Chain A
Amino acid sequence: MTAQSSPPKSLFEKVWDAHVVEPEGATSPAVLYIDLHLVHEVTSPQAFSELEARGLKVRRPDRTFATLDHSIPTLRPDADGNRPYITAQAEIQVHTLEDNAAKNGVRLFGYDAENRGVVHVIGPEMGLTRPGYTVVCGDSHTSTHGAFGCIAFGIGTSEVGHVLATQCLAQRKPKTMRITVDGKLQPGVTGKDVALTIIATLGFSGGTGYALEYAGPVIEALDMEGRMTVCNLSIEAGARCGMIAPDAKTVEWLRGREYVPQGADYDVAAAEWLKLASDEGATFDKEIRIDGSSIEPMATWGTSPDQGAPIVKGVPVAHTEDEERALKYMGLKGGDSRSAAKVDVVFIGSCTNGRMSDLRAAADIFKGRKVAAGVRALVVPGSEWVRLEAEKEGLDKIFTDAGAEWRLPGCSMCIAMNGDFVLPGQLAVSTSNRNFEGRQGPGSRTVLASPATAAASAIAGHVADPRQFMALESA
Chain B
Amino acid sequence: MSNQESNNSFSSRIVVLPEANIDTDQIIPARFLTTTTKAGLGKVAFNDWRYNADGSNKDFILNTIDASEHQVLVAGNNLGCGSSREHAPWALMDYGFRAVISTEIADIFKSNSLKNGLLPVVVDKATYDKLLANPQQRVTIDLETCALTLEDGTVFTFQVEEFARQCLLEGVDAMGWVLKRLPAIEAYEKANNKEAA
Given the complex of chains A and B, what is the CA–CA distance between A157 and B91 in angstroms? 14
Considering only residues 11-50 of chain A, those with a C-beta below 8 Å from chain B are 18, 21-22, 26-29, 31, 33, 35, 42-43, 45-46, 49-50
Taking a contact as CB atoms under 8 Å apart, the answer to whether A156 and B112 are in contact is yes
Taking a contact as CB atoms under 8 Å apart, the answer to whether B184 and A60 are in contact is no
Interface centre among B29, B104, B116, B196 (most CB of A within 10 A): B29
Question: A352 at interface (Cβ–Cβ under 8 A)?
Answer: no
Chain B 13-40, CB-CB to A under 8 Å as 1, else 0, gives 0000001110101100111011111100
Q: B11 → chain A, closest Cβ, in Å?
A: 28
A-B residue pair count with CB separations less than 8 angstroms? 165
Interface size class of B (residues with CB under 8 A): 35 or more
Taking a contact as CB atoms under 8 Å apart, the answer to whether B179 and A165 are in contact is yes
Sample of 6 A–B contacts (CB below 8 Å): A27-B162, A29-B163, A43-B84, A205-B106, A209-B107, A238-B81
Task: Using A45-B36, A168-B181 as known contacts, say yes or no to A442 and B48 having CB atoms under 8 A apart.
Answer: yes
Given the complex of chains A and B, what is the CA–CA distance between A42 and B106 in angstroms? 21
Closest to A322 in B: B20
Taking a contact as CB atoms under 8 Å apart, the answer to whether A21 and B53 are in contact is no
Considering only residues 155-198 of chain A, those with a C-beta below 8 Å from chain B are 155-159, 161-162, 165-170, 172
Closest to B83 in A: A140
Task: Using A22-B181, A438-B25 as known contacts, say yes or no to A155 and B33 having CB atoms under 8 A apart.
Answer: no
Closest to A307 in B: B21
Taking a contact as CB atoms under 8 Å apart, the answer to whether B185 and A33 are in contact is yes
- Measured between beta carbons, the chain B residues less than 8 angstroms from A31 are 178, 181, 184-185
Q: A155-B84, A436-B23 are in contact. List 6 more A-B contacts (CB 8 A).
A: A45-B35, A71-B34, A89-B34, A157-B86, A417-B31, A434-B25
Considering only residues 158-197 of chain B, those with a C-beta below 8 Å from chain A are 161-163, 166, 174-175, 177-179, 181-182, 184-185, 188-189, 192, 194, 196-197
Top 5 closest pairs, chain A to chain B, by CB: A156-B112, A45-B36, A156-B86, A154-B84, A89-B34
- Measured between beta carbons, the chain B residues less than 8 angstroms from A71 are 33-34
Question: A115 at interface (Cβ–Cβ under 8 A)?
Answer: no
Closest to B104 in A: A205
Closest to B85 in A: A43
Taking a contact as CB atoms under 8 Å apart, the answer to whether B175 and A162 are in contact is yes
Task: Using A156-B108, A240-B107 as known contacts, say yes or no to A170 and B177 having CB atoms under 8 A apart.
Answer: yes
Closest to A88 in B: B34
Taking a contact as CB atoms under 8 Å apart, the answer to whether A21 and B175 are in contact is no
- Measured between beta carbons, the chain B residues less than 8 angstroms from A161 are 175
Question: A284 at interface (Cβ–Cβ under 8 A)?
Answer: no
Question: A253 at interface (Cβ–Cβ under 8 A)?
Answer: no
Question: B82 at interface (Cβ–Cβ under 8 A)?
Answer: yes
Q: B37 → chain A, closest Cβ, in Å?
A: 7
- Measured between beta carbons, the chain A residues less than 8 angstroms from B78 are 204-205
Taking a contact as CB atoms under 8 Å apart, the answer to whether B185 and A437 are in contact is no
Q: A163 → chain B, closest Cβ, in Å?
A: 9
Which residue of A21, A45, A50 contacts B181 across the interface (Cβ within 8 Å)? A21
Q: Which listed segment binds B: A90-98, A212-220, A362-370?
A: A90-98
Q: A130 → chain B, closest Cβ, in Å?
A: 12
Question: A260 at interface (Cβ–Cβ under 8 A)?
Answer: no
- Measured between beta carbons, the chain A residues less than 8 angstroms from B36 are 45-46, 49, 89, 92-93, 96
Question: A62 at interface (Cβ–Cβ under 8 A)?
Answer: yes
Taking a contact as CB atoms under 8 Å apart, the answer to whether B34 and A42 are in contact is yes
- Measured between beta carbons, the chain B residues less than 8 angstroms from A304 are 21, 81
- Measured between beta carbons, the chain B residues less than 8 angstroms from A139 are 83-84
Q: B190 → chain A, closest Cβ, in Å?
A: 12
Taking a contact as CB atoms under 8 Å apart, the answer to whether B112 and A158 are in contact is yes
Taking a contact as CB atoms under 8 Å apart, the answer to whether A156 and B84 are in contact is yes
Question: A387 at interface (Cβ–Cβ under 8 A)?
Answer: no
Given the complex of chains A and B, what is the CA–CA distance between A416 and B107 in angstroms? 24
Q: A375 → chain B, closest Cβ, in Å?
A: 24
Taking a contact as CB atoms under 8 Å apart, the answer to whether A33 and B84 are in contact is no
Chain A 130-163, CB-CB to B under 8 Å as 1, else 0, gives 0000000011100000000000001111110110
